[in-house]
Structures are given as structure tokens and as C-alpha cells.
Amino acid sequence: MGQPSVLLDVHDLSVRFRAGGRSVYAVNGVGFTVDRGERRGIAGESGSGKSVTCRALLGLLPSNANAPGGSARFAGTDLLDPRQLDQCKIRGRRIGYVFQDSRSALDPYLPVGNQLIELAAVHGVAAAQRRDVALEWLERVGIHDAPSRLMSYPHEFSGGMCQRIGIAMALLPGPELLIADEPTSDVDVTTQRRLIELIERLCAEESLSLVLVSHDLGVIGRLCDTVSVLYGGLVVEQGPCQAVLSTPIHPYTAGLIASVPRVSAGDARVRGIPGGQPTLSAPPAGCPFAPRCDLHEPGCDAALPPLVAVASDRAVRCPVVAREPYPRFGGAQR
């Protein structure tokens, strides 16, 4: 019998922080799956809970976070259950993580080659082969003249090169899933394009599944098969990437897509969605998008809308649009 197709199954994930004497309900029941070979994008505005979701899976939440609620099964092991000792064999081994700012994730006092060699040692590479493995990975992520860069320190590399080294560190242990949190947000457009091509190529070469966090829908559209759109720590819409981006159903997704400046259409104005992310000092009682929504009805405030399937592969957290045949916002082509 072959392996089950679902590699990661996140269900009802919740994370709360204690900050300044009050609670912050950052993630309020996020759920999504990642099949083997699938590339899932996680989209949403700043503060929607993208990073906290990923960090909860990796056990990287800060000390003021509560123990996350819900479950996150990776190949059958619940990453959130402290009794499951297999977790430490999964995080950093079977799941690789690329930080938004890889330079800050590297040790500034150690040449990058030594960092890769140490990592190879931790992951059981024989002493005689560690330098070769470090060199191979520097070359695979496109660091030119790798032998002469092996002893360079992180500050001697550009931001884009540090991201490449961060990708090498994440992939050296041979993970099955790569989680990349805004891996291209701090670099210029040309470097961004090259990093996207690199991630795309390495995903194919290593048969990787991917969770890619980005507020940039263009990056998600280029790299991902499926997308989950987060708002106020909740998934408000998910489905196949191209379908969601071309015919969004949830008013928030439609607003996000309409906010992308389209220079080619001769209109580079930044529109944005009026209003801001909800303050998360309590779990959402009604629809968290209600204060910003043109389609708001009195019933929207009564209870948190459930995420309901509107097709076999699409779900939306809005009863108002879900009761209509979609696409409601079909004109929002990118």
C-alpha cells in the first residue's frame, strides 16, 4: 500500500498570547491540509496570523504564547501534542523552515560553511563528507564560486544570498515539507524573481511539499497549487490557487486582489481595503470582516460564520456569498 496522500493536516489551530496584561487571540481555528507534492500558499494582510500559524507548527512560538490548541498531524504525528516524542525527529528534519530574514537566523560569528558543516554533522553525514555536502548545497542554491565563499560570514553576503543560504540550511537535512515564511519580501524585484525560480526548481528536484506564506498574491500565484486566505486568525477562503485568484468568493479575498496595483493596465494606484485588521483581544464573536464589508447584513454579527464548502475543492467563511452561485466577484482578473 502506498503512503497516504495527506502529509500535513492542520485542524482548528488556535494560538493566544498574553501581552501587556491582556490576551491577543492571534489564531482562532485555522485548518488546511497539504498533500504530498502540493504547494499551498497562505495569504493575508499583516497581522492576519500567517507567521504565528507556521511558528506553532514548528514549535517556535515565543514564551508569552499559550500552548496551541487544535491539532497538526504530519504523517500521522501530532506536532502540537507534547507527548509525541517523534516531533523532534520531524521539525528541522522532515520539515524545513525558511525565515523571512534568513540573515538573522544565521549565526553572525560563524562562517556559513561551518554552519552548514555543523548541520550536516547533526544530521548524520560522515565527517569526511560534510565539507562536500556544504559545498554542494551552496552550489545548488546558486552561490557562485562556492569553495571560496565557504569561510565567508553572513554579513559578507547580500540579503538575497542570505535567503539562498537559509534555503540551503532548510533543505540539507532532506525534508519532505518546506515551510517558507515570506522568503522574498525583503529583497528587490529581480532577486525576488530569482528566489521564486530557485524555490520552484528545488521543490521539483527534491519532490517537496511547500507551505509558502506571503502577502504577495503574485508570488503565491506563481508558486502554489492551492491557497488559504487568512483574516483575523481564521481561514476565510481556500481552494485551487488559480480559481481563487481569478474568481474570489469572499469579499475580503476580492478586496485583497483588487488592492494589487496593475501597472500593465495603466493604473498603478494603490487601493487597499478601507479599515484595518480587527483587534484580537477576544475570540471573534461574529464575522471579523464585518466592519470593512460592503455586503454586511445584521446576521453577520450574530455568530462566527462557519467555513462552508461551495464546491468540492473550495470553501468560504461567508454565508451571504455562499448562498449564491459563485463567482460573485468573477471580474477581478489579475
- The minimum distance between CB 163 and ligand ATP, in angstroms, equals 16
Going from the C-alpha of 289 to that of each of 70, 166, 211, 300, 330, the distances in angstroms are 23, 35, 25, 9, 20
To ligand SF4, the closest distance from the beta carbon of 224 in angstroms equals 23
Scanning the structure block, which residue is given the C-alpha cell 483574516? Answer: 231
Within 216-275, which residues bind ligand SF4 (CB under 6 A)?
Answer: 251
279 binds, among ligand SF4, ligand ATP, Mg ion, none (CB under 5 to 8 A by kind): none
What string of DSSP letters covers 16-39? EEEETTEEEEEEEEEEEEEETT-E
User: Rounded to the nearest 5 degrees, what angle is found at the Cα of 261, between the Cα atoms of 259 and 266?
Assistant: 135
**Nearer to Mg ion (CB atom), residue 50 or residue 222:** 50
- Per the CB < 8 A criterion, the answer to whether 137 and 119 are in contact is no
Q: Which of 149, 309, 289 is nearest to 230 (CA)?
A: 289
Question: Could you say which of ligand SF4, ligand ATP, Mg ion, none residue 320 binds, taking C-beta under 5 to 8 angstroms by partner kind?
Answer: ligand SF4
Instruction: Report helix, strand or coil for 142.
Output: coil
| Binding partner selected for residue 287 from ligand SF4, ligand ATP, Mg ion, none, CB under the kind-specific 5 to 8 Å limit | ligand SF4
Q: Are 74 and 127 in contact (CB under 8 A)?
A: no
Confirm or reject binding of residue 290 to ligand SF4 (CB under 6 A). yes
Residue nearest to Mg ion (CB): 51
Residue 300 binds which entry of ligand SF4, ligand ATP, Mg ion, none, CB below 5-8 Å type-dependent: ligand SF4
Residue 321, number of CB atoms within 10 A of its CB: 21
Q: How far is the CB of 312 from ligand SF4 (least distance, A)?
A: 22
Taking the complex as a whole, the smallest distance from the CB of residue 29 to ligand SF4 amounts, in Å, to 15
Q: Cell 540579503 sits at which residue? A: 159
222 lines the binding site for ligand ATP (CB under 6 A): no
By CB under 6 A, the residues from 41 to 100 that bind ligand ATP are: 44, 46-52, 62, 64
CB closer to ligand ATP, 196 vs 213: 213
Residue 289 touches ligand SF4, criterion: CB under 6 A = yes
**Binding flag, residue 212, ligand SF4 (CB under 6 A):** no
Stretch 305-324: interaction string toward ligand SF4, x if CB under 6 A? x------------xxx----
Among 36, 123, 193, 296, binds ligand SF4 (CB under 6 A): 296
Q: Cα-flanking dihedrals φ and ψ of residue 142, to 5°?
A: 85, 25
Burial, 22: exposed, middle or buried (Cβ in 10 Å; 0-12, 13-18, 19+)? exposed
Site for ligand ATP in 271-300 (CB under 6 A): 280
Q: Report d(CA 143, CA 41) in Å as an integer.
A: 26
Question: Would you state the cell numbers that stand for residue 204, as one nine-digit string?
Answer: 521539483
Partners of residue 210 on adjacent β-strands? 39, 178
* The residue count for the chain: 334
Q: Position of cell 450574530? A: 302
Q: Which residues bind ligand ATP (CB under 6 A)?
A: 17, 19, 24, 26, 44, 46-52, 62, 64, 215, 280
Q: Which residues bind ligand SF4 (CB under 6 A)?
A: 251, 287, 289-290, 293, 295-297, 300, 305, 318-320
